[in-house]
């Protein structure tokens, strides 16, 4: 398994990214991927947040579940961003498969006293409205059931610009990575800093 640790501080807040090709830097160098760009930005801003990018191209939710326990034991992350499910949908898996698997992933994270951050996933529009709705509704449903936040799909601002997408219409280009980086910086810092402030305020 390719494991890219962008940076690791002994006393840093640690964010593990459990994702697929959308976070792994598909068809580009690891240095160009949005997690690496975001880590560089946080280093410059002295955010003291360490990103462990364990994303692997082609991963399904079941692949993520299989590799999660040793990652939790090794890195003991404070937060885990779950960016999985697109490949389940593209392969036509029954919606119950990603639903049950994502639920198990969240439970493992919570059992380790870590915070799960669930990325809303969108799949191509040619899979039929009924199937798309069943897959994409998994995320708000799990948010309510497992008390985890759902982050907006990070390709929302990219898909509308064809020049930022590869010919397959699924994967973003290297030129799209700074756009994703900017969005994820705002979303992740808003959540993480809110949590850190709340913890500091506790007696």
* Residues with catalytic roles: 21, 168, 171
Q: Which residues contact 170 (CB under 8 A, 6 or more apart)?
A: 86, 90, 124
Q: In whole angstroms, give the CA distance from residue 161 to residue 66.
A: 35
C-beta of residue 154 within 8 angstroms of C-beta of residue 184:
yes
CA proximity to 24, closest of 175, 188, 177, 178:
177
Q: In whole angstroms, give the CA distance from residue 186 to residue 124.
A: 26
Tokens of 167: 């010919």
Exposed (0-12), middle (13-18) or buried (19+): which is 182, by Cβ within 10 Å?
A: middle
């Amino acid at each position: 398994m390719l494991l890219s640790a962008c940076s690791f501080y002994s006393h840093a807040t640690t964010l593990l990214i459990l994702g697929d090709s959308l976070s792994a830097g598909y068809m580009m160098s690891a240095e160009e991927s949005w997690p690496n760009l975001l880590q560089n930005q946080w280093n410059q801003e002295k955010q003291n947040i360490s990103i462990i990018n364990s994303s692997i191209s082609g991963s399904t939710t079941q692949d993520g579940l299989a590799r999660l326990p040793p990652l939790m034991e090794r890195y003991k992350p404070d937060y885990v961003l779950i960016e999985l499910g697109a490949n389940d949908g593209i392969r036509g898996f029954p919606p119950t498969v990603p639903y049950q698997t994502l639920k198990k992933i969240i439970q493992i994270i919570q059992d380790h006293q870590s915070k799960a951050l669930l990325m809303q996933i969108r799949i191509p529009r040619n899979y039929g409205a009924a199937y798309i709705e069943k897959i994409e509704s998994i995320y708000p449903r799990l948010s309510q059931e497992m008390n985890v936040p759902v982050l907006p799909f990070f390709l929302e601002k990219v898909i509308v610009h064809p020049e930022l997408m590869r010919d397959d219409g699924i994967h973003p280009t290297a030129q799209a990575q700074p756009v994703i980086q900017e969005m994820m910086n705002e979303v992740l810092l808003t959540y993480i800093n809110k949590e850190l402030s709340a913890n500091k305020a506790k007696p």
